[in-house]
Structure 1
Amino acid sequence: MSNAFPGVGHRYFVDFQAFRVELDFASETSLTYYNLDQSGNKVGSETVTIKVEAITDGIFLVTWQESDKTTVVHIEDYVRNTIVTNITASDLTFDQFHGTFRQLP
């Protein structure tokens, strides 16, 4: 099993259908996410400290906490280009979304 996180140094377009984001992995510990509007324009962003753990070949657990105390947990499958996000907002509401992602040039 390769434990090397393939996201480092790459940007990804992620479509959860309910919303879209761009993920820009600067390192195994730093991610900038961009919220995208319906046209794909960046309408907000934050750089967060992340933790990454390999689950199995090509599948990674990626977690972080945002400045407003929202907690995000991803399962990112780099073999199938699928992603599951679990979000606990600062008001303790919980949401789960399934999506797809593709690497940007």
Structure 2
Amino acid sequence: MPEKFPAVGHRYLVDFKAFRVELVFASETSMTYYNLNAKGEHVGQETVTVAIDPVRDDLFLVTWTESDKTTVVHLEDYRLNRIVTNITDPTTGLSRFEGAMTRLD
């Protein structure tokens, strides 16, 4: 039986070093991400439809497409509190980042 996704109903700060975001999971199909400036203030947001696939205990593949056709693939590890992300931007191509995530609530 697939493991329940632990992030639903929670907020996470993710520090990818190059940028920071806040992820808010409303359900197993809906997430809002907030781009953060250097002061930690929200400077942009979008609610996206996510697909979530369990990989192993506490490890999930989370994917979505943004309104500008950017695609995002997260490997979210809730045991190590780490995310690896691969972002394919329609203009700049593929970028990869890794960062720590902290539950905010």
Q: Which residue of 2 aligns with 1:76?
A: 76
Show CA shifts across 1:5-32 (max 9, x none).
Answer: 0010000000000000000000000000
TM-score (ref. length: structure 1): 0.97
Unaligned residue ranges in structure 1 (runs of 5+)? none
8 Å CA contact retained: 1:2, 1:57: no
Alignment of 1:32-71 (within 5 A): 32-71=32-71
Q: What secondary structure is seen at the aligned counterpart in 2 of 1:24?
A: strand
Pairs aligned (count): 105
8 Å CA contact retained: 1:52, 1:60: yes
Identity of aligned residues (%): 60
Unaligned residue ranges in structure 2 (runs of 5+)? none
1:87 pairs with 2:87? yes
8 Å CA contact retained: 1:30, 1:50: yes
Show CA shifts across 1:32-82 (max 9, x none).
Answer: 000000110000000000000000000000000000000000000000000
After superposition, the CA RMSD in angstroms is 1.1
Following superposition, which runs of at least 4 residues in structure 1 exceed 2 angstroms of deviation? none
Question: How far 1:2 sits from its partner (Å)?
Answer: 5.6
8 Å CA contact retained: 1:61, 1:73: yes
